[in-house]
Amino acid sequence: MAELPSKVHLTSHPIYLSMHGPLMYEDENERPWLHFVMDTGGDLQVRLCQMNLPSVDIELTTSPLISNTMPLMWTLHISSQYLDSMGRFWRIMHHVMEDDMEEMILELMDDS
């Protein structure tokens, strides 16, 4: 019988995520996080995926949306929010570990 994927909701979040290339952030433990801007038709959301990648630079092109809206750094502000380098607050919508991939979705808060 095949094993079902294990999904665990995480409550311990990276202390900070700093820009480390066009589509990559790095946390305080030097773990790479790829980010993708999500089109939700409403609030700006970003999906961050922590993956163990080889230590080579990922050459991906950026869109103007990514260049203009993505902060250089996010810092954990309170247990469920990040403050970015542009002074905006982001709500942690979900943070899970499924199999070997950690995923976090951040949403720009309306009052930012």
- Asked, for residue 39, whether it belongs to a domain, the answer is yes
What CATH number is attached to the domain comprising 11?
2.40.15.10
Q: Could you give phi then psi for residue 65, rounded to 5 degrees?
A: -60, -45
- Whole-number pLDDT of residue 27: 96
What are the pLDDT digits (tens) for 46-74?
999 997 765 444 444 444 445 567 899 99
- Asked, for residue 77, whether it belongs to a domain, the answer is yes
Identify the band that residue 40 occupies on the pLDDT scale cut at 50, 70 and 90.
Answer: confident
Residue 55 makes CB contacts below 8 A (sequence gap 6+) with none
- Asked, for residue 76, whether it belongs to a domain, the answer is yes
- Asked, for residue 81, whether it belongs to a domain, the answer is yes
- Asked, for residue 29, whether it belongs to a domain, the answer is yes
- Whole-number pLDDT of residue 42: 79
What are the pLDDT digits (tens) for 15-39?
999 998 878 999 999 999 999 998 7
Q: Range of 11's domain?
A: 7-53+65-108
The answer to whether the CB of 16 falls within 8 A of the CB of 27 is yes
- Asked, for residue 36, whether it belongs to a domain, the answer is yes
- Asked, for residue 97, whether it belongs to a domain, the answer is yes
Please tell me the pTM assigned to this model. 0.80
Task: Give the chain's end-to-end CA distance (angstroms, integer).
Answer: 49
Highest mean pLDDT: which of 1-5, 81-85, 107-111? 81-85
Instruction: Count up the domains in the chain and report the number.
Output: 1
What are the pLDDT digits (tens) for 73-108?
999 998 899 999 999 999 999 999 988 889 999 999
- Asked, for residue 1, whether it belongs to a domain, the answer is no
CA distance 13 to 82: 10
- Whole-number pLDDT of residue 112: 57
**Alpha helix (H) ranges present in 1-112?**
64-69
CA distance 101 to 45: 19
3-state percent breakdown (helix, strand, coil) of the chain, nearest 5: 5, 45, 50
